[in-house]
Amino acid sequence: MPSQSSPRYPPFPEDVPTVPLLRLSFAKLLAGDHSESERLFSACRSLGFFMLDFQDTSQGRAILEEVETLSEVGADVFDLDLEEKQRYKMKGDRMFGYKSIGIGKADIKGSPDRCEFFNVSKDDILSASEPLPHPKIIAGNQLLLKDFTISVHTLAMHLLGHLDLHLHLKPGTLASLHRLHKYADDHVRFIKYPAQPLDDRRTSLGAHTDFGSITILFSALGGLQVLPPGPDAQWGYVRPERGHAIINVGDALVKFTNGLLRSSMHRVTYPPGAQAEFVRYTLAYFVRPEDDVVLKRLSSGNVIPPLAEGEVEENFTSKEWTLRRANAMRRENSKPETLIVKPE
């Protein structure tokens, strides 16, 4: 398949509705640039999505190289016979392994989804839990997966450090809830969206918000759509950019900040224009709080909004929330569920 940064894909068309995302510099954030840090906080409050340029720093370029290689690994995984892939299918409450096309629902009418994916647990990658069964192509790239996991997790902790600053939290507060070597449902996800027939193109992955704290996504083709806030909002495509990741806020950060940060609804449909003729491969890393972290508002001066008078928060852990959300998404005809929604 063409690589994540391949110029062989047709260009993203200019005549489709898009959601403009702030483009942030990884290098500036690493350097502690205050203006860039403020832009990050603004993006996390307003839409919860932004683009991060990996090309302007050695750490970012190293991640892009890992993404290139892992993209080929993902393509090889999906090229396996279905019978072989089903040997590693998700079972029960386990979130890791293979999900075939059509298992989930893409809309409230119950239309089957049009994507397959393979989740590889962070704890498994780091040999911190009992090993799970994997195809040989994944097992043979354990070192690459480990390097990538450490790299993107470190990136995510740096982003959380910037949010600590603007939330007036003690430095390291958010990172302390997402420690690399503690049990959590973080994972690498390989995703394949097959090209759809011209006379039957529709949503591939239904509208949802992400369970955890931060999602880091790499894809060379369009297809991701975001629903901005507001009563008259319309779905718009996200225009992918070479050398950039698409990063979004998840439900856990919304809960920790009592709705100050935003986790926006998003979905995946067919790529626009001539890109629709191509298979869409995506690589993602999901950062989630440690399993036993209770998802409640964090105390923080006057930045994080207080609870409403008489309001009592639910008492559930990150693990419990993940299972609750996963089970909801598996139910037929289920509507998207979010953790917390604040009025405009």
7 band by pLDDT with thresholds 50, 70 and 90: low
Q: With beta carbons less than 8 A apart as the criterion, state whether 74 and 281 touch.
A: yes
Q: Has residue 59 got a pLDDT over 70?
A: yes
Please tell me the total number of residues recorded for the chain in this structure: 344
- Mean pLDDT of the region 33-48: 98
Q: With beta carbons less than 8 A apart as the criterion, state whether 298 and 304 touch.
A: yes
- What is residue 241's predicted lDDT score, i.e. its pLDDT? 96
- What is residue 141's predicted lDDT score, i.e. its pLDDT? 98
- Mean pLDDT of the region 249-278: 97
**160 in helix, strand or coil?**
helix
Q: Has residue 146 got a pLDDT over 50?
A: yes
- What is residue 331's predicted lDDT score, i.e. its pLDDT? 57
Which tops the pLDDT comparison, 104 or 221?
Answer: 221
Q: Is the pTM of this model over 0.75?
A: yes
Q: Has residue 301 got a pLDDT over 80?
A: no
- Mean pLDDT of the region 229-243: 96
- Mean pLDDT of the region 126-147: 96
Mean pLDDT of the chain: 93
330 band by pLDDT with thresholds 50, 70 and 90: low
Classify residue 30 as left (phi > 0), alpha (psi -120 to 50) or beta: alpha
**Which of 152-156, 205-209, 272-276, 311-315 is predicted least confidently?**
311-315
Calpha distance 184→249 (Å, rounded): 17
Q: Has residue 216 got a pLDDT over 80?
A: yes
**Which of 32-36, 231-235, 265-269, 335-339 is predicted least confidently?**
335-339
Q: Which of 94, 25, 84, 35 is nearest to 241 (CA)?
A: 25
- Mean pLDDT of the region 132-137: 96
- Mean pLDDT of the region 31-40: 98
Calpha distance 344→332 (Å, rounded): 30
- What is residue 333's predicted lDDT score, i.e. its pLDDT? 38
325 band by pLDDT with thresholds 50, 70 and 90: confident
Q: What are the residues whose beta carbons fall under 8 Å from the beta carbon of 72, sequence distance 6 or more? A: 1, 3
- What is residue 93's predicted lDDT score, i.e. its pLDDT? 78
- What is residue 322's predicted lDDT score, i.e. its pLDDT? 86
- Mean pLDDT of the region 57-83: 98
- What is residue 6's predicted lDDT score, i.e. its pLDDT? 54
Q: What token pair was written down for 159?
A: 């982003």
**181 in helix, strand or coil?**
coil
- Taking only the tens place, the pLDDT of each residue in 169-206 is 999 999 999 999 999 999 999 999 999 999 999 999 99
Q: Has residue 108 got a pLDDT over 70?
A: yes
Calpha distance 2→242 (Å, rounded): 13
The 3-class SS string of 79-106 reads CCCHHHHHCCECCCCCCCEEECCCCCEC
Calpha distance 272→291 (Å, rounded): 38
- What is residue 290's predicted lDDT score, i.e. its pLDDT? 98
Calpha distance 23→49 (Å, rounded): 10
323 band by pLDDT with thresholds 50, 70 and 90: confident
344 band by pLDDT with thresholds 50, 70 and 90: very low
- The percentage of the chain sitting over the pLDDT mark of 70, rounded to a whole number, equals 93
User: Which one-letter DSSP state was computed for residue 305?
Assistant: P
